[in-house]
Amino acid sequence: MNDPKGRTALVTGASSGLGAEFARQLAALGYSLALVARRLDRLEQLAADLRDRHGVRAEALQADLTEPHAPLRIADRVSELGMTIDYLVNNAGSAGPDLLEDRDWQQQAAFFQLMMTSMAHMCHLFAPGMRERGFGRILNVASVAGRIARAGDLNYGPSKAYVVALSEALHLTLRRHGVHACALCPGFTHTEFHAVADMLEMKAQLPAFVWYDVQVVVREGLAAVERGKCVYTSGRLYRWVDPLLQSVWIRPLARRLSGSR
């Protein structure tokens, strides 16, 4: 059984949404925290709240994971603070540009860095230590969008498909060393994500039953990685739909229907 006492969790994208909720729930379990995001003011407020409420150590680390050297700077800062990372939550992300319509390649490259390269880099930096110590948890936030190809989704879904594949391979490689790796695949979740991505109109058009609260998604994700699940779809609705989308009969039909629009 995992005893959080004396252990530290690092959460990226921790200033809001799923990341902030991961921080709250991990703090409630007793983990010390290294909180990473671009918005330092929000991070510092969250860290102070968690210290006051749960009596845990919580450090705010400002970093922009679209920058190639950010993961190494995070690792260096964690070392300076004397923290050993036992639990890694790779949550930072964005909706991203349109691969065909947005013609600034630097914008595309920054998205790939944030969504895939930085996540692999964080695992590269912290997973070996977990393996050597015989304990670790790696929770990579993917998406239901990474489980099925859709016409027009040329960046977000494919980047999340990589997260799923990486997490499965990490799980197979590390599980005999006491390290659990899991790709958490939420569906539509109530966060700031859709406002930042200018998707509020789309959100308003969808029925309420497809939306889940961050508390549910995070609670299910933490439980899934603890049970050793390598891929976990959050939300009862999405857990019902996902096997259908993955079936050898439905998947080709879903592709045809998506491509016909």
Look-up of token digits 């994700």: 221
Look-up of token digits 């190809």: 149
Buried b (16+ CB within 10 A) or exposed e, 68-103: eebbeebbebbeeeebebbbbbbbbbbebbeeeeee
Determine which one of 87, 156, 162, 238 is catalytic.
156
156 is catalytic: yes
The catalytic residues are 156
